[in-house]
Amino acid sequence: MNALGRHILVEFYDCSPELMNDVIHIENSMVAAAETAGATVINSTFHHFSPYGVSGVVVIQESHLAIHTWPEYGYAAVDLFTCGDSVDPWVSYKFLKDAFEAGHGSSMELRRGQLSLLKRNEFNLDALRDVAPKSIEADGTITRDVWFTERDENIALSLKHSGKQLYKKESPYQRVEVYETLAYGNMLTLDGMVMCTQKDEYVYHEMITHVPMFSHTKAKRALVIGGGDGGTVRELLRHEQLEEVTLVEIDELVIEACKQHLPETAIAFDNPRLNLLVEDGIRYINNCDDGRYDLIIVDSADPVGPGEGLFTAEFYSQVHRCLTPDGVMVTQSESPRFNSGVFVEIYDTYKQIFGQDKVHCYLAAIPTYPTGTWSFSYSSKGEAHPLRFDQEAAGRFSQEQGLKYYNEAIHTAAFALPNFVKELLANKSDNTIQEYSAEPTDE
């Protein structure tokens, strides 16, 4: 070869749109394409592009393979650059064409560094010589830099993972996936949205359960709608006062994925006090007897996909009907910073159903949820109040159970709202700010 390197500019057309948005498939394919061609892979970096698509590069000892995809067009632009003549980039081209299920491709090869135009420098090159590739680990593995990204048009959360997708199945309702992340352990996602991770799931599950349990000590029967990861029922079943806990989850694949890959979260599925039902939570509530449950927790995903019907006035009215006269409903109520429109609408709906003074907002810090600030609602059908609770009992319980987030001080502090949240929760009818008191009232 009369040049220093071969550079192939590639365009793949009519590719599988799903594959063009699958960061793990693309990363694995690009690495395999390099190795199949005989290249020595040093490391790889891949991430989701906004709003969709994948960008990435595989660094090889002989140069690099790079890509950017446009799923909406089924198109990929690929850059294959190899130095010397030990690696044939056309082997990589053929491999990727098949891997991306491309209808057809076009390419242009450039010879880089024409030897006839170069003059060799007399500098002592031995002083620059690397003894060995420094990025290859001692066991021969390569450094991989692969990112999962949850995003909308304005913000994104990116988590680096190992490149291993532990679980991926499509149910009639959603895409269920589990990734092995480096900072947060195994992570469950539904339709590309983070649901929980091994390292921080305890925040959500402890706050959605222990706040109502310690302020409604007469609760004997609890219902959880959603929550197929098992974390909410795990925390509820720590309370011996509960005689029965019913979990209604629409998607059995969520349960399956968490049993396999988040076993600490799904540990309570075999508890004899748990009644596990795989069915539609909306239908279950509609058919539920009046006054059946002391506590109903709506552990839903965001108001899209199968969870969309759980964010309606009709549904919450049915929940109200199913509560005992002194019953309590607790829900996750979105981020007041990220999804403020839905946040405000949810609370306005609750107040119409339960009463203006019966609905309370509290907050928790969850790192892997949008903005890190997440809200929960506490709606009382009777006289139960979230700040009327036995602090000594709550503190003792937290210590005995080894809780990682909830304690008696957190219980109280969670209801101290920032001013911007108070303003969002202002009464919409008279446009005045409804101040939230940290002290319970006797009504």
What is the C-alpha to C-alpha distance for residues 175 and 231, in angstroms, rounded to an integer?
20
Q: How confident is the model at residue 309 (pLDDT cuts 50, 70, 90)?
A: low
Mean pLDDT score, 387-416: 98
Omega before residue 370 within 30° of 0, cis = no
Q: Which tokens go with 287?
A: 């058919």
Residue 60 has pLDDT above 50, yes or no: yes
218-227: b or e for each residue (b if 16 or more CB lie within 10 Å)? ebebbbbbbb
Give the pLDDT score at 443: 36
* 144: phi then psi, degrees, rounded to nearest 5: -115, 140
Reading the block at residue 12, the tokens are: 């793949």
- Own/partner contacts of 415-418, CB < 8 Å, gap of 24 or more, are 415/360, 415/361, 415/362, 415/386, 415/387, 417/361, 417/363
Contact 233, 239 (CB under 8 A): no
Residue 374 to residue 335: CA distance in whole angstroms? 5
Q: Is the pLDDT of residue 29 over 70?
A: yes
* Domain 3-145, CATH among 3.40.50.150, 3.60.40.10, 3.20.20.150, 3.60.90.10: 3.60.90.10
Which residue type is seen at 303?
A: P
Query: Which residues are the active-site residues?
Result: 63, 68, 83, 299
How confident is residue 93, by pLDDT bands cut at 50, 70 and 90? very high
Q: What is the pLDDT of residues 224-240, one digit of tens each?
A: 999 999 999 999 999 99
- For residue 28, the tally of other CB atoms under 10 A from its CB is 19
**Whole-number pLDDT of residue 145:** 75
Instruction: Say if residue 289 is exposed, middle or buried (CB neighbours under 10 Å; 0-12, 13-18, 19+).
Output: exposed
Helix, strand, or coil (residue 88): coil
Instruction: List the domain boundaries for the chain.
Output: 3-145, 152-197, 201-424
Q: What is the dihedral of CA 178, 181, 185, 190, to 10 degrees?
A: -30
pLDDT-derived band at 307, boundaries 50, 70, 90: very low
The reported pLDDT for the residue numbered 118 is 78
Give yes or no for a contact between 250 and 172, defined as CB atoms under 8 angstroms apart: no
Min mean pLDDT across 116-125, 387-396, 414-423 is at 116-125
Architecture of domain 152-197: Roll (2.30)
Give 317's pLDDT tier (boundaries 50, 70, 90): very high
What average pLDDT does this structure show over 210-229?
96
Amino acid 432: pLDDT: 33
- For residue 139, name the pLDDT band (cuts at 50, 70, 90): low
pLDDT of residue 61: 82
| Strand 41-48 versus strand 3-13 pairing type | unpaired
Report pLDDT for 339: 82
Q: How many CA atoms lie within 13 A of 412 on its CB side?
A: 12
Residues 6 or more apart whose Cβ sits within 8 Å of residue 310? 225, 226, 281, 282, 298, 300, 303
Contact at 8 Å (CB) between 427 and 441?
A: no
pLDDT for the residue numbered 52: 84
What is the band of 147 on the pLDDT scale with cuts at 50, 70, 90?
A: confident
CA 80 to chain centre: 33
Higher local confidence (pLDDT), 281 or 118: 281
> Is 281 annotated for ligand binding?
yes
- 174 known member of a binding site: yes
pLDDT at 441 (0 to 100): 42
Token duo for residue 128? 């620059």
Q: What token pair was written down for 361?
A: 């907002």
Among 14-28, 128-142, 366-380, the minimum mean pLDDT is found in: 128-142
Picking from 168, 128, 301, the residue whose alpha carbon sits closest to that of residue 227 is 301
Burial label, 206 (beta-carbon count in 10 A; 0-12, 13-18, 19+):
buried
- Are 20 and 69 in contact, with CB atoms under 8 Å apart? yes
Mean pLDDT value across residues 284-306:
84
Q: What is the mean pLDDT of residues 132-139?
A: 50
**CATH 3.40.50.150 for domain 201-424:** yes
Strand pairing report for 244-249 and 221-226: parallel
- Consult the annotation and say whether 300 binds a ligand: yes
Q: Is the pLDDT of residue 35 over 70?
A: yes
- Of the candidate ranges 20-24, 37-41, 147-151, 277-281, the one whose mean pLDDT is the lowest: 147-151
Is 299 labelled as part of a ligand binding site? yes
CA distance 226 to 279: 10
| Average confidence (pLDDT) over 86-114 | 92
Give φ, ψ of 278 to 5 degrees. Answer: -100, 95
C-beta separation of 294 from 324 below 8 A: yes
In angstroms, the CA 438 to CA 251 distance is 38
Q: Is 229 assigned to a binding site?
A: yes
Report the range of poorest mean pLDDT among 77-86, 140-149, 208-217, 283-292.
140-149
Q: Is 130 annotated as a binding residue?
A: no
What pLDDT is stored for residue 141 in this prediction? 56
pLDDT (mean) for 416-429: 84
Largest Cα–Cα distance of the chain, in whole Å? Answer: 93
Confidence of residue 286 (pLDDT cuts 50, 70, 90): very high
C-beta separation of 361 from 375 below 8 A: yes
395 known member of a binding site: no
Per-residue model confidence as pLDDT tens digits over 118-129? 776 666 656 655
**Is 183 annotated as contributing to ligand binding?**
no
pLDDT band at 242 (very low <50, low <70, confident <90, very high): very high
Helix-then-strand count for the chain, H and E: 11, 18
Residue 170 has pLDDT above 90, yes or no: yes
Whole-number mean pLDDT of the chain? 88
Extract the tokens encoding 319: 């929940």
Using 50, 70 and 90 to split pLDDT, how confident is the model at 299?
very high
Checking if the pLDDT of 7 tops 50, the result is yes
**pLDDT computed for residue 51 by the predictor:** 75
> Sign of dihedral through CA atoms 224, 228, 232, 236?
positive
The pTM of this model reads 0.73
Q: Specify the DSSP class assigned to residue 188.
A: E
Radius of gyration of the chain (CA): 27
Q: How far apart are CA 337 and CA 372, in angstroms?
A: 9
pLDDT tens sequence across 406-415: 999 999 999 9
- Phi, psi angles (nearest 5°) of residue 61: -60, -25
Q: Is 429 left (phi over 0), alpha (psi -120 to 50) or beta?
A: alpha
Has 302 been labeled as part of a binding site?
yes
